[in-house]
Amino acid sequence: MDVVYLTHVHQYLLNFKVMSNQTHSPKFTVTDVRVAFECPRLFYLSKHFGGKTLFIPPDQPRGIGKPFHHFASKFIELAKTNPKFKSLFKPNAKTLDRESISLEMQRIFYKEVFFPALQKVATNKPENVPALQQVWEGLRGLINHWSGLLVTNCFYANYNNVISETFFSQELSVTCDYPLPKQKAQKIEGKFDSLIRDLKKDRLCMVEYKTYAPIDSASQLAQVALYSYILYLHKQQPVDSAVYCVLPEFKVYYYTWEELKDTVHELTPLKLQQMRDWLQWKPSQPDPPPETNQPEKLCPICPQQETCQRYFPPLPLDRATPKNTTDDAIQTEELGKQLETILQAYGVGVDYQDAIVGASFIRFKLKPHLGVKVVSVVNRSTDIQVQMGLPNLPLISPQAGYISVDLPRKDRKAVPFKDYIQKTNNGFDIKIAIGIDLEGKLIEADLSDANTCHFLIGGTTGSGKSEFLKSLVLSLIERHTIEQVKIALVDPKRVTFTAFEKSNWLLCPIIKESDRALEFMEELVTKMEQRYQLLEKGKCSDLKTYNQQLIQQGKSPIPHLVCVFDEYADFMADQEIAKQLESSIKRLGGMARAAGIHLIISTQRPEAKIVTPIIRSNLPARVALKTSSEGDSKIILGGNHSQATYLLGKGDLLYLTSGNLSRLQSLLAS
């Protein structure tokens, strides 16, 4: 045990003595409330011993929060006082160009404030320069966003006042006595980053900056809801909230006061009471503050991991939660009942029917009472997330006879490839493995079927797209001979398909360059045309029948060709290449199935300009792994299918074929 830790414990015991003599409760900050939502143990440790409380994902920058906050408020200060900023908004609002205003504001701020500071740091502490460069990246996004707001506000305010009316105030300390049951109250203090006004909406908005992408959106919501509430008390008017995540890329999470006001009263009193109870706990007592309900996500990046492990050692075995199936079933039943109760509390009457435990999530079946609309359950997804402490919104969908609410499993299981796919010969059926359904059944797609002959696959980084593509290719290899199928792999990232580099099933070496990819797509078109001529001669409608004919004549069949194209967005940056690629996909998509040629095209960035309508309409089957937005999900799955954004990543996927959407877990091949 180190000395610092022992000193902390000693300090704590002293504090504890003082605290336990107090009759009134300790003060909480809004940050304490956020931390308590994220992890009661981290809350406890930070209140007693201090220390860091941010869960920063490992790949994101550290130590830039303070300088970022400093420069963000410097920017507002400069914008309010420097006449050059004002003059940018002098022309008629209709003629203002947001982009050039943004660049000009960045230029002035860089010259007058940021660059001198950077120079100083470069001279005195050159090791801090990279961090400052990241700060600048974040500031650019922020200034860009604000320029948009200022331009809009110019329609509603005189150019002279628009800046001061927009940036209402900064870094303001606020406090309130939050009412608790039995006439008690809890003092809460907080210091928010900025208060701005959207003149179009005629709304104040509290802004929190974050220099990393927060892991737990539920606690973020609880935090901003509390700020909005305190500000509402102070200002006596509705106050929206926004979280600006400035890095790794600028993103705004916006919550209206109407969305927040219920949240705050539903969540805060119970949490405040729990926080008071947790703080009373002493190491010698039973029932310490519980661990976070997202241990998999948060514990590995906990800033006080070691202290926590020392302070809250695992329970002895006889007290640890038993892990037998009866208890699992009881827990599932309890969760189902909890869902029922939560929805009931919002006036949404449902009956919990039963649950199916899948590899990565549990599907709860809820039957809405007669007259209860499905949408009223869907609309409560944020409340379910917050009340049940879920890392993401749950996926809620109407099903035949019930509404399904999918909640993530804490102990999710991988589905090993070898358990489902054995070396077999599929004969003329060219099938690929998609994943395992809730009943544990392998779902496959037959590439000869017009609905599943070509695939569009999308998913953000970490969604499990590469693993999915690998298991798909392996399922072809394991069950088909090289006479039945040949595979072409296009891999601009150069790392996805390395395991297949020497495979006998490859039609040609793995394609990594855009020129070669274009050439190859042209070759596929030519091959398709040649095959059509053969089919015509043999009077066959497709390759399957033609091959049957060949085999009857004692000849070798012609193999199906499956082209798996990873990250094709990388090739769409160049307009000329994009056009040619699109034209090949169009020709192949429309006709290649009959010739036994199949396209499986995947992208990490399913943006409209990459997944163009032509590409979409020629790739009928879709697989969406977790996407980074609802919009991306809609682009892959079409229509209004925004669900892929609520998937859990790591191979959790939605498979759309002939209008049916199924949630599957992809196979993991070692």
Ligand X SMILES: Nc1ncnc2c1ncn2[C@@H]1O[C@H](COP(=O)(O)OP(=O)(O)OP(=O)(O)O)[C@@H](O)[C@H]1O
Binding interface with ligand X (CB under 6 A):
414, 459, 461-467, 604, 650-651, 666, 668
CB of 478 to ligand X, least distance (A): 16
By C-beta, is 543 or 667 nearer to ligand X?
667
Does residue 194 have a known ligand-binding role? Answer: no
Torsion angle defined by CA atoms of residues 287, 293, 298 and 302, in that order, rounded to the nearest 10 degrees:
-20
Contact partners, residue 529, CB within 8 Å, separation at least 6: none
Enclosing H/E stretch for 169? strand 167-170
In whole angstroms, how close is the CB of 464 to ligand X at the nearest point?
A: 3
Q: Which amino acid is at 176?
A: C
Tell me the closest approach of the beta carbon of residue 360 to ligand X, in angstroms.
8
Rounded CA-CA distance 347/373 in Å is 11
Identity of the residue, 394 or 464, whose beta carbon is nearer to ligand X in the bound complex: 464
Other Cβ atoms less than 10 A from the Cβ of 353: the count is 14
Structure-block tokens of residue 547: 């091959």
Neighbouring C-beta atoms of residue 397, cutoff 10 Å: 19
Helix H or strand E segment including 478: helix 465-479
Tell me whether residue 537 is annotated as binding.
no
In 43-125, DSSP assigns E strands to none
In angstroms, give the least distance from the CB of 459 to ligand X: 5
- Shortest separation between residue 249's beta carbon and ligand X, angstroms: 15
Tell me the Ramachandran region of residue 584: left when phi exceeds 0, alpha when psi lies from -120 to 50, beta otherwise: alpha
CB of 453 to ligand X, least distance (A): 24
SS3 78: helix
For 594-662, give the DSSP string: TTTEEEEEEES---TTTS-HHHHHH--EEEE---SSHHHHHHHH-TT--GGGGS-STTEEEEEETTEEE
CB of 650 to ligand X, least distance (A): 4
Nearer to ligand X, 339 or 625 (CB): 625
Q: Closest distance between ligand X and the C-beta of residue 463, in Å?
A: 4
Integer Cα distance of 77 and 631 in angstroms: 36
Is residue 51 part of an annotated ligand binding site?
A: no
**The residue to which tokens 């006595």 are assigned:** 177
Task: Please give the residue whose beta carbon sits closest to ligand X in the complex.
Answer: 651
What is the DSSP secondary-structure string of 228-252?
Answer: HHHHHHHHSS-EEEEEEE-SSS-EE
- Angle (CA) 441-447-450 rounded to 5° is 110
> Any known ligand binding at 470?
no
Binding site annotation covers 65?
no
User: Closest Cα partner for 621 from 587, 650, 584, 659?
Assistant: 659
The smaller minimum CB distance to ligand X, of residues 261 and 297, is found at 297
Q: Say how many C-beta atoms besides its own lie within 10 A of residue 461's C-beta.
A: 11
Cβ at position 452, least distance to ligand X in Å? 20
The answer to whether residues 470 and 499 touch, using CB atoms and an 8 Å cutoff, is yes
Q: For 61, phi and psi rounded to 5 degrees?
A: -65, 145
Handedness of CA 56, 168, 140, 155 (dihedral sign): positive
459 is in an annotated binding site: yes
Q: Which is nearer to ligand X, 383 or 491 (CB)?
A: 491
What is the C-alpha separation between 168 and 189, in angstroms, rounded? 20
Asked whether residue 461 is marked as a ligand-binding residue, the answer is yes
Q: In terms of CB distance, is 459 or 596 closer to ligand X?
A: 459
**Nearer Cβ to ligand X, position 556 or 670?**
670
Tokens representing 376 are 């009223």
Task: Return the number of the residue (152 or 665) whose C-beta is nearest ligand X.
Answer: 665
CB nearer ligand X, residue 169 or residue 461:
461
Residue 289 or 458: which CB sits closer to ligand X?
Answer: 458
Cβ 568 to ligand X shortest distance, Å? 13
- Determine whether the annotation assigns residue 651 to a binding site: no
Which residues does the annotation place in the binding site for ATP? 459-466
Which residues does the annotation place in the binding site? 459-466
